Structure 1
Amino acid sequence: MPITPLHLGLGASCKALGNRKFSFLIFAGAQVLMDLEPLLGIILGWKTLHLYTHNLIGALFIGIIAIIIGKPMSEIILRTIDQESKRYITWKVAAFSAFIGSFSHILLDAFMHADMYPFFPLSKSQILLGLIPYSYIFYGCLIGFIIGGVAFLIRELLSTPSKFS
């Protein structure tokens, strides 16, 4: 399934750990950009769904696009949610979040997809395929999403002064 929420578990954990030094929105945007190729492949009936974006060069390219598009879009979203906020995302945070998003995506997918070649075009080796069972990846990401999400929410609740005090 393209544009799977599976990868967001890692993003939620990174957000919980990094707080303001990590943008979950840019990370999530990188995930969507990475999976545009498989989505098009499914629609158009391609035999190989994970080729051009799902390798080290593709992840670098997608990461750069995610930085350029993700920083302004994420800032607009954050300001729309909290209009009193003057929060902004630095280019350093945008780059870190986008590249964690794109490179972690190929790492996780390299364990699962038989049509993925992380070192393409230099090699069509699949050295990571099947090393970790899919269920471990799935539940690991799910648990990461739950723990990361809860930790982030607790941090936000504790750092926000109550309107009723």
Structure 2
Amino acid sequence: MPFTPLHLGPGLALKALGGRHFSIIAFGLAQVAMDIEPLMGLLTGAQRLHGSTHTYLAALGIALVVAAMTPPVGRPVVRRWNREVAWACLPWLAVSDNFTRVSVLAGAILGTLSHVWLDSLMHADLTPWAPWSEVNGWQGAVSAETLTVGCLLSGLLGLTAWLVLAWRRSQRTPASSRDARSWLRAGQR
């Protein structure tokens, strides 16, 4: 992918599907962690930008590091989000700052593995199955334009589905408990 944010499109779709069992923050951190190697390569003028970190084997190791760092990094982000949605009078968009192992591992693992797969569709210098194989059988399977549009569409559909599901959940909860929980989650006592 030309830019890490495009990887978030499929992440938003996975969030809509996985709900509380999938951490979009872990997924996002995984995208950033995966692109450290190409960034360093760009800064140093390396000939190969997608090296050892862009393999499925390394992606699993990176996912474990991301999973460990997600709760301490993610909690302040979620708290800020909850304050902002409370201020905007949209308490139904508040989310829990309870990062479960399942949600964090799902977000981190799916984040790193999907990153390798999406990049393998586009970049010729990737060897996703190394050290077992130097072949990238996915490269060129779709055009860069199709890949970009696919990521954008999956993000739009995922965001829309997540918003609809959050709104529907809020409609099933009695108003008094919904408001109280939202303010508590947002840190407003």
Distance 1:70 1:142, change over 3 A: same
Listed as ranges, the gaps of 5+ residues in structure 2 are 84-93, 180-189
Q: Does residue 32 in structure 1 map to residue 42 in structure 2?
A: no
**Cα-to-partner distance string for 1:74-100 (whole Å, 9 max, x where unaligned):** 123213332697640111111111000
CA distance in structure 1 between the partners assigned to 2:97 and 2:132 by the alignment: 42
State the secondary structure of the residue aligned to 2:48: coil
Greater fraction helix: 2
Correspondences of 1:37-52 after superposition (within 5 Å): 37-52=37-52
Distance in 2 between residues matched to 1:153 and 1:129, nearest whole Å: 34
| Residue 151 of structure 1 pairs with residue 161 of structure 2 | yes
Q: Does 1:140 align with 2:140?
A: no
**After superposition, what is the alpha-carbon deviation per residue over 1:96-115, rounded to whole angstroms, capped at 9, x for unaligned?**
11000000100111110011
In structure 2, distance between residues paired with 1:150 and 1:113 = 30
Residue of structure 2 equivalent to 1:57:
57
Q: In the comparison of the two structures, how many residue pairs are matched?
A: 164
Partner Cα distance (1:56, 1:86) in 2: 30
Identity %: 35
Q: Which residue of 1 aligns with 2:100?
A: 90
TM-fit CA distance, 1:12: 0.4
Structural RMSD (CA): 2.1
Q: What letter corresponds to residue 79 of structure 2 in structure 1?
A: R
Aligned residues of 1:3 and 1:31 also touching (Cα < 8 A): no
After the TM superposition, which of the residue ranges 41-50 and 79-88 deviates more from structure 2?
79-88
Q: TM-score, normalised by structure 2?
A: 0.79
Answer yes or no: is the 8 Å Cα contact 1:3–1:36 preserved in 2.
no
In 1: Cα distance, 2:167 partner to 2:95 partner: 16
CA contact (8 A) 2:78 2:96 kept: no
Structure 2 letter corresponding to 1:124: E
Q: 1:13 to 1:24 in 2, by over 3 A?
A: same
TM score, norm. by length of structure 1: 0.90
Structural mapping, 1:59-78, within 5 Å? 59-78=59-78
Partner deviation per Cα, 1:24-82 (whole Å, 9 max, x = no partner): 11101000000000000000000000011100121011101110111222123213332
Q: Is the Cα contact below 8 Å between 2:22 and 2:102 reproduced in 1?
A: no
Q: Secondary structure at the match of 1:42?
A: helix
Give the conservation status (yes or no) of the 8 Å contact 1:41–1:48. Answer: yes
8 Å contact 2:22–2:107 — kept in the other structure?
yes
